[in-house]
Chain A
Amino acid sequence: MTRLTSTRRRLGLLAAATLAMSSMSGAATVTAVGPPPSGIVCTSDAGTNPSFTLHATSGYVSIPDGNTIYMWSYSDSGSTAFQLPGPTLCVNQGDNVTVTLVNDLAEPVSIVFPGQTGVQANGSPAEPQLSGTEVTSLVQPALPGGGTMIYTFTASEPGTYIYESGTDPVKQVQMGLYGALAIRPAGHADWAYDDVATKFKASTEYVMLLSEVDPDLHQAIERGQSYDFTTLHPRYWMINGRSFPDTIAPNSAAWLPNQPYSAMVHVEPYDAGSNPNPALIRYLNVGGLNHPFHPHGNHGRVIARDGRLLEGGAGEDLSYEKFTVLVGSGQTWDTTFKFTDEEGWNPSTNPIPVTIPQPQNIIYKGNATWYSGSPYLGVQDELPVGVTSFNECGEFYHVAHSHALNEAANYDAGFGGMLTLIRIDPSGGC
């Protein structure tokens, strides 16, 4: 509700402005060494025997309402910095993958690799750990205080997978011990699966790792207090460990030192000649709730679920288009996404056949907008004095968010949480 006399403004709107501008200028002129402003950031190891070392450790993340949350996560050995989520591990089909877990936490921690087969832990089959009928861990854990466990497997099937803790996972996964694993088909870095129909534009590959946070749980763990899991009640909703508007900040944003992954999508219109391949969006749900994720702007084509291509026994194409993907707890969904300038509206040659009201008859919410002032792609037009625009060159912005709309909020403040933006530049970019 907007009150006549209210001074209540959404926290983060100004912050969002800053972030968006940073993101845009970065997108247009990136020259510095480091990850691109948006898109997947792979942690990889060249060769056919990639090896990773992950530290289970603790740290803090920031939330756009000003809160700070104590989390656990897996962090890359190459950096002492805590990061949420864990590094996105990228390997190739057929690789013999080694992941060494070093446990810097005060209780046993492990890693399960759902969707992988033949996983070994310290050279033995990874298997549930039982004490009588009590399952103490889903796989062999690394002991606290610097203990290690070496997990190995062959990356046999391309696709999108979760990795997460298998030890007291009710607590540890909620605390943040999760990450994404992308297995690329052999010989085709720009195919999602071993099928040319899953070819995507390599510079437009995205991860959307969905999670929830109950701050009471995190505070209890930080203080060493007990917590009743039947009272679990998430208040924050994240994509790649960030809540909107932080989701649209660039990769490795300096002001989000422990949350390195952007969730901004950045594409150009489909063109059969110059831009024929779609973006790839890899959805992973590491939370306990199902999340109905709705990208505005266009449908996505669901090409795979849980790391398996949607095809029939005789090779039939079972992919389908959706405007909302209901990503279940523990699931992964792969979609391709493209935006087409379908009508080719043009202010002089093909104008939109409605009259657009004068600015004084329109609301620009909060006097800040991603809108260009013009409905036409690649065109900027005047905005009223006092309205701040984050628009660079007439590009389009659409939101993409959980349609359980209570999740598109930061605690009590709307337009936050599990929400990000899709940026569509005019052909050729800004």
Chain B
Amino acid sequence: MTMRLDRRFDRRTFIKLTSLAAAGAAGATLLRGLPAGVPAARVAAAGTQHISLAATDGFTFARGSVTGPGTTSILPDELAPAPLTWWGFGFRDVTGLTQSQTQAQRGKFQASAPQIYVDQYVPALANDVQISLLNLGMMIRPDLTDAHTIHWHGFRNALPLFDGVPEMSVAVPIGRSFTYEYRPRDPGTYMYHCHNEDTEHVSMGMTGIVFVRPAQNSGAGPIPAGKYVYNDGVLPSNPRSTAYDREWGMFLSEGWAQEHWDGAHIQEHDWSDYNADLWFLNGRSWPDTIVGPGGGTDASGDLVAPAGHDELQYNPISSLVKANSGDRVLLRFVNLGFQQHAMTIDGLTMRVVGKDATYLNGRDGTDLSYLTNTVYIGPGESVDAIITAPTVSSETTFLLYNRNLAYLHNPGEAGRGGQMTEIHVFPAGTVGPQPEPNKNPA
């Protein structure tokens, strides 16, 4: 489940509105004579953008097997109810859920955390962002009293109160909620995570992606309304444009099976022994990365697993990319692991247009974007890369994978695993408009 722009709209209304806006933009595009494939418009709504998150623990699915001292199975953890395999904690999106639905999510976090996307603040729209965090406490470790926070990583000129570092301001105790106030003036790709006992809370799963859509999406002078990464100030036909048709967050993280087992079994560990043995793309390892997304929430507020994949109920975010020839596909890479990663694609070229929520543009307007087939990215960095899908006569598959081949692996499993997914390119006109980030049309 992903964030809505405004809680006043339900999903159905929202899709209808964006479809109408898309149709309008297509018309405008034709009038201006711009090339086909100009993206659908995303016009920002007025009013505060509300999002509600809950923090809690639970079991999710990590692929592979790890045996500890003796014959103890570290992964899967025997405490995990099949088909789930390990314990952790993190966030859930509870925007729009009732109070009882929200409370029922205790012990049911998702990995990776919900994608948050919001519109850039525009004074005339008075569209501040407010994210409330409710700490639901721990189901499996009721002896733990961990507070939680939200740190919007990279937010410029942040106030300590809303920066989420508990030693510099405050944290949210169990059973309480706190509303973080943001006025996002700078579009781009960011990340968020809990900063309370950050080493542990980040590696346990309290990590996700957040991005800010630019005001230019509503159009700016001759620039038509559409989908852009930044306020680039150029027409979509300009090679420097950040216009795109489809977008995927590519959220990179790692797991240390021993740490998760230790946590569930009331054991301590030593951070200087950190030794990742699982690698994730949007909270899943290959080949789960190409399974479709989860199906939102059910009547109880619980997550609905992807069809045929009950094990991925709490790993709902898909990384399967589908696009038409000529589409501009935006990949928002974010790394919130502790290691550096080298995400590469054979046969396609990426244009890196942004880093760390900043358009790659010198103060004097110099173009700092560049072409590459490998995005090298450290912990706490983000990279915006656009692929133009090549012309194909039939469905063609490309792989996006970590060129650090040691990380292309699931513990105890033969063959490839870890941080890899597929990009499927189809002849023009095959794939319908993208309903939401990281999702393909039905």
- B158 and A297 contacting across the interface, CB-CB below 8 Å: yes
Q: Which of B110-118, B171-179, B217-225 contacts A (4 or more CB under 8 A)?
A: B171-179
Report the tally of A-B residue pairs with Cβ distances under 8 A. 206
B197 on the interface (CB 8 Å rule)?
yes
State the Cβ distance, A248 to closest chain B Cβ, in Å: 11
- Complex Cα distance A357/B130, Å? 15
- A369 and B167 contacting across the interface, CB-CB below 8 Å: yes
Contact of B362 among A318, A353, A362 (CB under 8 A): A318
B198 on the interface (CB 8 Å rule)?
yes
A32 on the interface (CB 8 Å rule)?
no
Question: A288-300, CB under 8 A of B: which get 1 and which 0?
Answer: 0010101011110
State the Cβ distance, A236 to closest chain B Cβ, in Å: 8
Which residues does chain A contribute within 8 Å of B158, judged by CB atoms?
296-298, 398
Q: Which of A34-42, A76-84, A89-97, A403-411 contacts B (4 or more CB under 8 A)?
A: A403-411
Q: A320-B355, A322-B355 are in contact. Are A404 and B167 (CB under 8 A)?
A: no
B272 on the interface (CB 8 Å rule)?
yes
- A324 and B197 contacting across the interface, CB-CB below 8 Å: no
Q: A2-B144, A342-B157 are in contact. Are A317 and B168 (CB under 8 A)?
A: no
- A324 and B380 contacting across the interface, CB-CB below 8 Å: yes
Interface residues of B in 349-374 (CB under 8 A from A): 355-358, 360, 362-364, 366, 368
- A1 and B263 contacting across the interface, CB-CB below 8 Å: yes
Judged by DSSP, the binding face of A is loop
Contact of B179 among A326, A355, A409 (CB under 8 A): A355
Q: A370-B167, A405-B338, A406-B338 are in contact. Are A414 and B157 (CB under 8 A)?
A: no
Which residues does chain A contribute within 8 Å of B379, judged by CB atoms?
292, 324, 403-405
Q: Which residue on chain B has the smallest CB distance to residue A324?
A: B380
Q: A290-B340, A405-B338, A409-B271 are in contact. Are A317 and B366 (CB under 8 A)?
A: yes
State the Cβ distance, B103 to closest chain A Cβ, in Å: 17
Q: A2-B147, A342-B156 are in contact. Are A371 and B169 (CB under 8 A)?
A: yes
Which residues does chain A contribute within 8 Å of B196, judged by CB atoms?
365
Which residues does chain A contribute within 8 Å of B263, judged by CB atoms?
1
B160 on the interface (CB 8 Å rule)?
yes
A345 on the interface (CB 8 Å rule)?
yes
Q: A235-B272, A294-B153, A411-B270 are in contact. Are A345 and B159 (CB under 8 A)?
A: yes
- Complex Cα distance A357/B381, Å? 32
Contact of B202 among A319, A326, A353, A405 (CB under 8 A): A405
B247 on the interface (CB 8 Å rule)?
no
B298 on the interface (CB 8 Å rule)?
no
Q: A321-B356, A405-B198, A409-B199 are in contact. Are A371 and B160 (CB under 8 A)?
A: yes
Which residues does chain A contribute within 8 Å of B338, judged by CB atoms?
404-407
- A362 and B170 contacting across the interface, CB-CB below 8 Å: yes
Contact of A343 among B168, B183, B271 (CB under 8 A): B183
A233 on the interface (CB 8 Å rule)?
yes
- A414 and B200 contacting across the interface, CB-CB below 8 Å: yes
- A320 and B179 contacting across the interface, CB-CB below 8 Å: no
B232 on the interface (CB 8 Å rule)?
no
- B154 and A299 contacting across the interface, CB-CB below 8 Å: yes
- A321 and B358 contacting across the interface, CB-CB below 8 Å: yes
Q: Which residue on chain A has the smallest CB distance to residue B262?
A: A1
B166 on the interface (CB 8 Å rule)?
yes
State the Cβ distance, B378 to closest chain A Cβ, in Å: 4
- Complex Cα distance A375/B197, Å? 22
B185 on the interface (CB 8 Å rule)?
yes
Q: Which residue on chain A has the smallest CB distance to residue B336?
A: A403
- B378 and A326 contacting across the interface, CB-CB below 8 Å: yes
- B380 and A294 contacting across the interface, CB-CB below 8 Å: yes
Question: B334-356, CB under 8 A of A: which get 1 and which 0?
Answer: 00001110000000000000011
B203 on the interface (CB 8 Å rule)?
yes
State the Cβ distance, B334 to closest chain A Cβ, in Å: 11
Question: B109-141, CB under 8 A of A: which get 1 and which 0?
Answer: 000000000000000000010100000000001
- Complex Cα distance A306/B360, Å? 21
- B166 and A4 contacting across the interface, CB-CB below 8 Å: no
Chain B interfacial positions (CB closer than 8 Å to A): 48, 128, 130, 141, 143-147, 151, 153-154, 156-163, 165-173, 176-181, 183, 185, 196-200, 202-203, 263, 268-272, 274, 338-340, 355-358, 360, 362-364, 366, 368, 378-381
